[in-house]
Structure 1
């Protein structure tokens, strides 16, 4: 056999397999999974499921891993040593800031988890927290890149932070209604206090700075242009939390979710017909 004919490296084979699986199951991942998730979350909250299934932490993590698989498949080819180091540091920051929040009430206000979202780190915060936290940051970062299509750091940073806050404005009311977490002093925004969003301004700024330093923005934009499923995780997020909030009558988060869906539908760079 010619020396030029060689097998793909193991990493590339894994990336190709994951990309093919995601591409062939886009509707199931981006729409069916969140719809089933909404039904199970609400049924669990209303006591309609057996206790062993209602809000089961490993079911929650497993379903979330399936829904974020397009994001993982999209970003995997871009993860070099610098990006991997940045993501590892971001995971450490995520655990640290959340632990500080639970112990001190800063920067998000005094809150506690009502449901164990998998194994708990020091019995305080979910060990799998990055699985839930990273997609909010990365999807916001990807949207900012697509909206701006520029290397302007200040504009990209500002829009990414605004989108992070928007996604949290959608997430937190639904999570509170489901009993995932709650504040000691509930706030006026569907039980969420204003200090939570001030905390997100702080922690989000640090997290976005880490992302900005970790990835090649030009390569990320090229990948977005060539990878049609890269934003499918955002679709899953908006479907799931939009419907959860609708069930509980949280209409501002619903309007925000619908607004982002409409933005995606009207964009030239995202084709919903292939779902």
Structure 2
């Protein structure tokens, strides 16, 4: 079976299971994670690292399958460099507190390498790609300007961490011993995220043709379903713990998804739009 046949099968699998992947999984994930945090689940179900990683991979699948046809040699090299960077910066953070501030993992997130979860790229890189795709749709032709595009995506990635980190700290995924002003998260964490987001966004901008990525996005209706999962999962977790500012940011991403008509199939049933307005 050749690559195109495999990609077609994967697309069909995702398309036929969109609700399960992007609504059922994050809703159940939020319930299981909160139940683990408040002591309602016994070991080995509580914070089971296999379930966490499996659920994350399932929710990431629409994005991965959507991007897969665009992955060429240049993309592989850029993504490999980004994976190496993500491990390196996390290793530095875990062992020195730079650049995020002193923290440690409070929950087993699966196998580790020198103190860094092996699943880290699965947790981090898709967040950046989701931000890149959503911003490209929201900006339209303004995204043709690289400075505008990069600054906007970096800001979106930082906003994602305004949702992610408070929920993760509330669950005990990671702990900042000295606390922080934003639901226990220090401002140094966000300074570190500006650095990491900048590197990641530039790497993705180099890895993929913006025109090809946008065209693929316009006709692959499920490609941002991973962001739908993010809003449901982390919005729900933050709501449970009363992190209402984080819930508000998650809702803003939800509004962006609604504005771009992302979580339905109508995009495939309308006349083919003109792509020239995006570049």
TM class by shorter-chain length?
Answer: over 0.9
1:203 & 1:26 partners in 2: Cα distance? 30
List, as ranges, runs of 4+ consecutive aligned residues in structure 1 with deviation greater than 4 Å. Answer: none
User: Cα offset for 1:266?
Assistant: 2.7
Q: What is the CA distance between 1:272 and its match in structure 2?
A: 3.3
Aligned pair partner of 2:120 in 113, 123, 129: 129
Unaligned stretches of 5+ residues in structure 2: 267-279
* Residue 142 of structure 1, aligned match among 133, 140, 152: 133
User: Which position in structure 1 is the counterpart of 2:146?
Assistant: 153
The aligned length equals 264
2:216 equivalent to 1:223: yes
Which one of the candidate residues 32, 57, 69 is aligned to 1:40? 32
SS at match of 2:194: helix
Which whole-Å CA distance do the structure 2 matches of 1:256 and 1:203 have between them? 20
Check the 8 A contact 1:265/1:272 in 2, yes or no: no
| TM-score (norm: length of structure 2) | 0.92
Q: Secondary structure at the match of 1:187?
A: coil
TM superposition shift of 1:271: 4.5
- What RMSD, in angstroms, separates the aligned Cα atoms of the two structures? 1.1
Secondary structure in structure 2 of the residue aligned to 1:68: helix
Gaps of 5+ in 1: 1-8
Aligned counterpart, 2:277: none
Q: CA deviation at 1:173?
A: 0.2
105-114 or 144-153, larger mean C-alpha shift? 144-153
For the 8 Å contact 1:111–1:183, the answer to whether it is kept is yes
| Selected match of 1:184 from 177, 180, 198 | 177
Query: When the two structures are superposed, what TM-score results if normalisation uses the length of structure 1?
Result: 0.93
Change (3 A) 1:151 1:24: same
Are 2:138 and 2:256, in contact at CA under 8 Å, matched by a contact in 1?
Answer: no
